[in-house]
Structure 1
């Protein structure tokens, strides 16, 4: 007689094993089966741990979240489908109509757009102020201010926020201090040690490190806030892909090595660019000529990170010539990859701003941001030398 199980689509469980895999298995299953309704009740009511539906959590997401929690000195963080979904979880999951949120005026471009357009549409008031000037931040505080959102090092001008002053201001006003730690990473800065209430990451960038992952992360100091973030994330469908989580875990295994190598090269590149004819200015936090150098040393120690920004003496024609001549480097609006990438904010991340608004931030047509990767440092410096020379020649 034919075994009745043979006609079932999924008749067999995974085989048992006395050993375990060294590499975390990829678990793409959307759903998980329980034995009985009582067993499912036990899971949902917290008497036993188990997975049910991947939008509510899955093994690969929990592995990445646990690793990030450890790096940030936190617990209970959530992994989301992108850096902006992590920002959305915090802003939309914790704020309500009538609340006010104060942001740094040099946030990531899409964060600025959310502050300027999306939150006001939902009845959440917003304003922006210079995070390097705590008096300007204080002047923007209102009685209904519930949150302050800043980056430690701004994108793309690499200004360093007055975190100590802003943390004191947040405590004084009763607002939650949210820090986007994407640029600095826990390797250089741990926000909870400096008064933050919530930390956000675009895991897509340095933490995963290979430009093949789209993930975000958010975690609060208060477990009750973490519960609210998690519930909103599940409801809004901000779920991270198991495959992206699996790739991110692989990338994070080499994070410290990648960060240290690219940071060392970035410091060399900043000094090299400063000596080239055709470069108007260089921004790198560990250079003595950086406008926030003293604050950078105080907050970051000797961790200048892997980002270097600079301004060519020419305009758009020079910018075009520069990217064409930067042979082997990707001109792409991203950062944190193992390969060096070039970003031109005026045509990418900050293109929605008016020229006057970009000028007020110090972003000209000749302004570039470099995310330094793992190339041979000498080869990278030569490429930059040749590209700047081409840009200089294009000034006409």
Structure 2
């Protein structure tokens, strides 16, 4: 058999239905399955425990990430929740300091009261990780790239540290997707995705995925999936399979568009700093080149006027960039992390992790990049005009 390219392998890992020849995976919209005798079935008994559509999705994603076991959940947070259930009271987690607000809320408002504590460190600093490890550390939690300042952690090096101490390493691979990065092949034990984002790709489904390197850990995750019940339904599973079919093409275009826009923003006089791993100015640009195939479709940037008012002025004056939560869809989105995705994190912690009041996050879609730049140019001009008016008003006040 000849060697196939990754895109071809992905498309043909989605099976033709052996019963009917349907080229799309059928939606088994059923809650239960008729048994031949008590306890004797055809591989399925109840759709919370297993469902043919969800099973195909889980197989495809496990193969795409290079893992043994996949599990699909009702949301990205449900996927994270299943991973944390591997721990026990008294265990500690080392987590990236620039963490998604929902994960922070889950760690601090839910699991902390059950005796699981989290130490937040800059995981780009291997020394900081080493110093944070204690005898109680059982899990290292990475996002790479992080949400929202797009820090890149050395997954292979962190995996070596984790395994030296018998610690599990989990990587949230949402921003890169399995097309650009496969953390399990770099040594991670577990990968999670908010499949709502790039894997779904059309802003029409909420879903989460867990993939494990070892079958034993995967068996534990599957147990929690069934026991706790936060499973992905058949139709949503179908939507993710459909999204996977175009994922390589979409990721390539997202990345091209984002690179063009990041270069534009870096040259704009109102922009203070651009966070995008594809820029040579990014502190981990070289590392990103090593462990990612491209740089993705998310950009964050801060304004020279570091105020919430300036940022809100921008995000409320774009037309093609819609102001909304989430990312990874075909249409471009803009958000203000401090008041949206990361509002559950207290201001001091948020700012220490680099999430300034003026930070803006873009999810660059599949529109023509020239149109997107024109949209940002208009919004930035409004911000500049507002600042000029405020400056004149202050001068008149002092007169």
TM-score, length-scaled by structure 1: 0.90
- The match for 2:61 among 60, 65, 68 is 68
Are positions 1:54 and 2:36 aligned together?
A: no
Are positions 1:211 and 2:225 aligned together?
A: no
The equivalent of 1:337 in structure 2 is 329
Are positions 1:296 and 2:288 aligned together?
A: yes
TM-score, length-scaled by structure 2: 0.90
In 1, Cα distance between equivalents of 2:177 and 2:367? 21
The equivalent of 2:136 in structure 1 is 144
Q: Report the CA distance shift for 1:358/1:247 in structure 2 as closer, same or farther (over 3 A).
A: same
The equivalent of 1:12 in structure 2 is none
Aligned length: 370
The equivalent of 1:372 in structure 2 is 364
- The match for 2:77 among 84, 108, 113 is 84
In 2, Cα distance between equivalents of 1:318 and 1:330? 17
Deviation at 1:18, TM superposition (A): 7.7
Contact map agreement 2:123 2:129 (CA 8 A) in 1 = yes
In 1, Cα distance between equivalents of 2:194 and 2:19? 38
The equivalent of 1:324 in structure 2 is 316
Deviation at 1:280, TM superposition (A): 1.0
The equivalent of 1:169 in structure 2 is 161
Counterparts of residues 1-396 of structure 1 (less than 5 Å): 19-37=20-38, 40-41=39-40, 43=41, 49-92=42-85, 94-301=86-293, 303-314=294-305, 315-395=307-387, 396=390
Q: Report the CA distance shift for 1:357/1:98 in structure 2 as closer, same or farther (over 3 A).
A: closer
Larger-Rg structure: 1
Contact map agreement 2:66 2:213 (CA 8 A) in 1 = no
Q: Which runs of 5+ in 1 are unaligned?
A: 1-16, 44-48
In 2, Cα distance between equivalents of 1:129 and 1:151? 12
Deviation at 1:19, TM superposition (A): 4.3
Deviation at 1:24, TM superposition (A): 1.8
Deviation at 1:147, TM superposition (A): 1.0
> Which secondary structure state, in structure 2, belongs to the residue aligned with residue 97 of structure 1?
coil
In 2, Cα distance between equivalents of 1:355 and 1:325? 25
> Which secondary structure state, in structure 2, belongs to the residue aligned with residue 200 of structure 1?
strand
Deviation at 1:116, TM superposition (A): 2.1
> Which secondary structure state, in structure 1, belongs to the residue aligned with residue 174 of structure 2?
coil
Q: Which runs of 4+ in 1 moved over 4 A?
A: none
Contact map agreement 1:307 1:371 (CA 8 A) in 2 = yes
